[in-house]
Amino acid sequence: MLLIGFNVHSQELKLNDDVGVLLRREKSYYLNLHTNGWGIGYRVGKNLTGYLKRMYEIEFVSMKHSKEIKSINPGVQNSKSFVYGKLNSFYVLRPGIGLQKVINEKPYWGGIQLRYFGYLGGSIGFLKPTYLYILTITPTGDYYDETLEKYDPDKHFIDNIAGRAPFYNGLDEIKIHPGAYFKGGLNFEYGTNPEKLKSLELGFCLDAYPKSVPIMAFDENNNFLLTLYLSIHFGKRYN
């Protein structure tokens, strides 16, 4: 009976090992939450060996300045919130390539497989100018009108801003801010079905640009943006 049990156990290990080898390709979608915003992404890749994967990814994330604080003008009825001093909204598209390497294998009955990884690629920044509703005094001086204007730190102050404009204002004035990124961290795969991919990822991402990114008017803007992130992945493996 002991020999039979050992033989069955060995076959189970072999079967799972074979499944891991046969299902060489994978793809997944993920949600990224990081210290300065959030984003979404997509990955595809394949096993180079039993312990090493080559992956391709593309993700789109929002990127806030660390000094952004929402405000409202208490002197304006139904005022919408705005970020005083914000010149541009910043979004990043990251196409890249990377490697994942297994640190410890998942037991045949399930559990967690741990990998470390590194990704490198382009960081294509999109700067969208900020538009605000501005209070302007009428020619008669009786009351104020609200006009839609691009934010100008030399003309627009906390007391004459009525609120933020709709998101679509400024879309036709987007400017490209090219750079590169590097990402590293740990991947925790917890799914029990070898054909379905479920994992959590903890890591950091460094975006680097030739020039500083002009997000805020009165605070320092940098050309190196470091963020910490948590992402959750769902996908499948196949041949």
pLDDT single digits (tens) 196-219: 999 999 999 999 999 999 999 999
Q: Which residues pair with 40 in a beta bridge?
A: 31, 60
How many C-beta neighbours within 10 Å does residue 77 have?
A: 7
The whole-number pLDDT of residue 142 equals 64
Distance CA 32, CA 231 (A): 4
State the residue for tokens 């996908």. 235
| Res 17 pLDDT > 70 | no
Question: Token pair for residue 34?
Answer: 């990081």
* Sheet strands (E) in the chain: 25-34, 37-47, 52-63, 70-71, 82-83, 88-104, 113-129, 131-137, 144-150, 161-164, 175-189, 196-208, 224-238
In angstroms, the first-to-last Cα distance of the chain is: 37
The mean pLDDT of the chain is 89
Domains of the chain, CATH where assigned = 2-238 (2.40.160.20)
pTM value?
0.87
**Tens digits of per-residue pLDDT, 90-145?**
999 999 999 999 999 877 667 899 999 999 999 999 999 999 999 988 776 666 78
The whole-number pLDDT of residue 15 equals 36
* 86 three-state secondary structure: strand
Distance CA 81, CA 6 (A): 67
